[in-house]
Each structure stands twice: as C-alpha cells, then as structure tokens.
Amino acid sequence: MDETLTITAMGAQGDGVAERHGQAVHVPGALPGETVRADLDGARAVDVEVLTPSPERVVPPCRHFAVCGGCKLQHWADEPYRAWKRQKVVDALARQGLDIAVDPLVPGAPCSRRRATFSMLRRPEGVLFGFQQAGSHAVVDIAECHVVVPVLIRARGALKALGRALLPVMGARARPVPVTVTVTETGLDVAVGSGFRLTDEGRQAAIGIALKANLARLAVQGEVLAETRKPIVRFDGIAVPLPPGGFLQASAAAEAAMREQVIAHISGGKAIADLFSGCGTFALPLSRLAAVHAVEADASALTALDAGWRMATGERLRQVTTERRDLFTRPVTARELGRFDGLVFDPPRAGAEAQARQIATSSVERVVAVSCEPATLARDLRILMDGGYRIVSLTPFDQFLWSPHVEVVALLERAG
C-alpha cells in the first residue's frame, strides 16, 4: 500500500526518518523536509518516490549512486551533510551524559581513499567487480567511483582478470568474494578473501596476471601468491613494509591531519604508550619525540612496525619497543602505565572499555583517543572523565566520505 510520508530527520545510518502512527519509518535516499510516496516493508520504506524534493538535494556525481551500496549521501549538499556528521558525535556524547564542545568536522576530499574492500562475483556472463547493493549480495559492476583514488578504478581490468582466473562460475545465491586493494608507494597490494576453492590452475593463472599487471603483491585467502616488490607505506615519511591485510587509515590526508593533532598534544613527554598500535601510524612519528612502547594483538603488524623503525637509518628516532597483547582480554594495567606520561589508543569499532578502565586509574598525564565509532568512544570517554580526565578538544574527521561513518580524535589531560 502506498504511503505518503514527510521526512523529519536523517537517521544514524544515512536514511531519512519519517513518523507513522508513532513509529519511526526509515526511508532510503530521502532527505529531511522531503515528502515521499513509498511502500512499507515493516519499518522500512521501499519503492520510494520523492514528491517534494528538499532544496538541499543535489545531483550525485557518480552514475552508480542509489544502486551501489558504497555511498549513501552523495545527494545531500555539503553544509547540511557535514553538520549531520558532526551532530552524530554530539548525540553520542549526550547519550553518555557528556556535554562537550565538538569542533567543526574536518571535511574529506573526493577521490582520496587509498584503500577499499570491493566485492567480486563470477557469473556466466562475466565477472562483476564493485560494491554490494545495500542489504543484498548483488554486486554493482562499477565503471567509476568518486571516493577512491583513480588508480584503483584503473586497475579494474586486471582485478576482473583475477576473478576469471580464480573464481568458479557462481550461482545466484553465492556470496561475493571480498577483494581489498591498497595503494602503496611501490604499487597495488591486493588481498582476495575466502568463499571459493583455490585450485592449482587458478593459483598459477593468478600469479601470471599479477606479474603482467605489475602488482606489488597478490595474496589469496591469506597466502601470498606473488610479491614482486614489498608494499611500502609511509607514516610521516617513515617507510613501513605493509603486511598482507594490514590495517591502514583509509585516507592519507585524514591520517596526516589526525597525526598532527596527536603529536601536538603528546609532545614534551619522555615515554609514550601506543595501544592498538597497528603498523605504527602514530608510534613511529611519535618516536621522533620520545621513547614509544607499541602494543598490538596482530603479530604481523608489530613485525612491520619494528621493521619500519629499524629501516629508518636516516631518522633520529628514539627507542621503539613492541608487545603482542590482546588488549580486550588483557589490558595494560594502571600500574604498568605508570612509566608513561603520554598515551594514544586507537581501537576497532568495539572501542576499548577494559583498557579505558585501566587508563582512568593510571597516572598518565596526557591521553589521545582515536575512534571510528562515536558511540563506543563516548562510552570510553565517560570512563576516563569519571576517572579524573578532562577533554581538551574533540575533533571529527570525514575520513569516510558520503557514508554514515565518522572518525574522531579526542585529546585529554588529567585534571588538576
């Protein structure tokens, strides 16, 4: 049954929200202030027709928008879109009872994402390579993308060739295979995920394609099939050999802006802890200022970090030590943190509740919290503030352009 709905707000996941009989209805592709006609599937609208468009509606730059699930908000003007992203952080803090000043959103730039996870399927008619439709296993075979750096789209032909070599023809219900592609200083690092049987014939064909396409490295289901050059990334000029599937901030520009805040806040300390350190995004640049102890659960990431530190022979870096440790089950204790005067933590989306409780009772003077999930960050900040820390500044970064996701950097000091 057709329903006419008025959009009153933008939901947390980038859908318009209307009210019907006291219940919220989520309307994909709608903007606040619009009137739409749609069918309802429970609390979600389908077959949406915009009757009265918002003056904030703009023409999306990408031909695949509204079909591809990679972007949700290309149709919204910059100013209200950025205000909404900042407000997501404000609202997350408010839910924890925190009334904290939030800086303006640091905007992201189109065509700047250096790392993306695509989806790939092989159908009888050919290989589909792109992003999945929202709520579906269907893959949109993209010919352009206004989020990733252009070299990733130029590699589309070689990546499809890999799909033809590796993947069997898949049925209609088959799940897409993830393909993570990272732009490094020495070339493309390609990691093909699981979901199919890797044959000897497919392995040999894929190696030939990787060599022909001049990929720096090709890994399939965790196995490195070809590595003509070690994929190298730089953290503030310090070269690091990236491990297969290693974590990397999605945008080099956002990484640099966040690092600038981190360094400015921590500078002056003699010993710094970097928890959830990854490959050394913050640890290595910080070692120009002080001794750094990097803690991370991923052994390959710590190996890369240590290699980067040892390779930096022309740099005046202080001592960097590493420790493999699952900080969710065995956080660094307040007593262990007593030797540090500065600390950085950058956990996954789940946040760092157990670790935050240890930091809250520690003597560390300055703390930087980096997060890609405002809700768990707000929870962790509540713990730290209850433990005697105060927020110096809190800045959101639009590292994930046109998506509902937002990165945040919070600077804290121990009060009085």
Mean pLDDT value across residues 124-148: 92
Which residue, 363, 199, 361, 343, is CA-closest to 283?
Answer: 343
276 is in an annotated binding site: yes
Residue 379 has pLDDT above 70, yes or no: yes
**Rounded distance between C-alpha atoms, residue 412 and residue 273, angstroms:** 14
**Three-state SS letters, 343-365:** EEECCCCCCCHHHHHHHHCCCCC
Torsion sign over Cα 18, 6, 131, 114: negative
Residue 416 has pLDDT above 80, yes or no: no
Q: Which CATH architecture has domain 84-109+248-414?
A: 3-Layer(aba) Sandwich (3.40)
Instruction: Categorize the per-residue pLDDT at 401 as very low, low, confident or very high, splitting at 50, 70 and 90.
Output: very high
Task: Look at residue 268 in the predicted model and tell me its pLDDT.
Answer: 87
**Rounded distance between C-alpha atoms, residue 359 and residue 83, angstroms:** 32
What are the pLDDT digits (tens) for 316-375?
A: 999 999 999 999 999 999 999 999 999 999 999 999 999 999 999 999 999 999 999 999
What are the pLDDT digits (tens) for 366-378?
A: 999 999 999 999 9
296 is in an annotated binding site: yes
Residue 16 has pLDDT above 70, yes or no: yes
Mean pLDDT for the chain overall: 95
> What fold does the segment set 1-57 form as a domain?
OB fold (Dihydrolipoamide Acetyltransferase, E2P) (2.40.50)
Kindly write down the DSSP assignment for every residue of 94-109, as one continuous string: HHTT-----PPPB---
Take residue 350 and report the two structure tokens written for it.
């789940």
Take residue 386 and report the two structure tokens written for it.
């209850």
Burial 283-305 (b: 16+ CB within 10 A, else e): bbbbbbbbbbbbbbebeebbbbb
Options 71, 145, 279, 372, the catalytic residue: 372
Question: Which of the residue ranges 41-55, 273-287, 326-340 would you say has the lowest mean pLDDT?
Answer: 41-55
What are the pLDDT digits (tens) for 244-262?
A: 878 899 999 999 999 999 9
Pick the CATH number of 115-232 from 2.40.50.1070, 3.60.15.10, 1.10.260.40, 2.60.120.10: 2.40.50.1070
Equal CATH topology for 1-57 and 84-109+248-414: no
Task: Look at residue 176 in the predicted model and tell me its pLDDT.
Answer: 94
Task: Look at residue 415 in the predicted model and tell me its pLDDT.
Answer: 87
Q: Are 30 and 12 in contact, with CB atoms under 8 Å apart? A: no
Take residue 200 and report the two structure tokens written for it.
């000897």
Which residues lie closer than 8 Å to 303 by C-beta, 6 or more apart? 243
Q: What single DSSP character describes residue 200?
A: H
Q: Where are the alpha helices (DSSP H) in 213-364?
A: 252-266, 283-286, 299-311, 353-360
Kindly write down the DSSP assignment for every residue of 8-73, as one continuous string: EEE-TTS-EEEEETTEEEEETT--TT-EEEEEEETTEEEEEEEEE--TTB---S-TTBTTBSS-S-
Which residue, 390, 366, 381, is CA-closest to 90?
Answer: 381
Instruction: Categorize the per-residue pLDDT at 33 as very low, low, confident or very high, splitting at 50, 70 and 90.
Output: very high
Q: Where are the domains of the chain?
A: 1-57, 84-109+248-414, 115-232
Task: Look at residue 306 in the predicted model and tell me its pLDDT.
Answer: 97
Take residue 267 and report the two structure tokens written for it.
């500078």
pTM for this predicted structure: 0.93
Instruction: Categorize the per-residue pLDDT at 227 as very low, low, confident or very high, splitting at 50, 70 and 90.
Output: very high
The SS3 call for residue 232 is strand
Residue 407 CA, chain-centre distance (Å), reads: 8
Task: Look at residue 313 in the predicted model and tell me its pLDDT.
Answer: 84
Q: How many residues does the chain have?
A: 416
Residue 1 has pLDDT above 70, yes or no: no
Instruction: Categorize the per-residue pLDDT at 218 as very low, low, confident or very high, splitting at 50, 70 and 90.
Output: very high
The answer to whether 372 is a known catalytic residue is yes
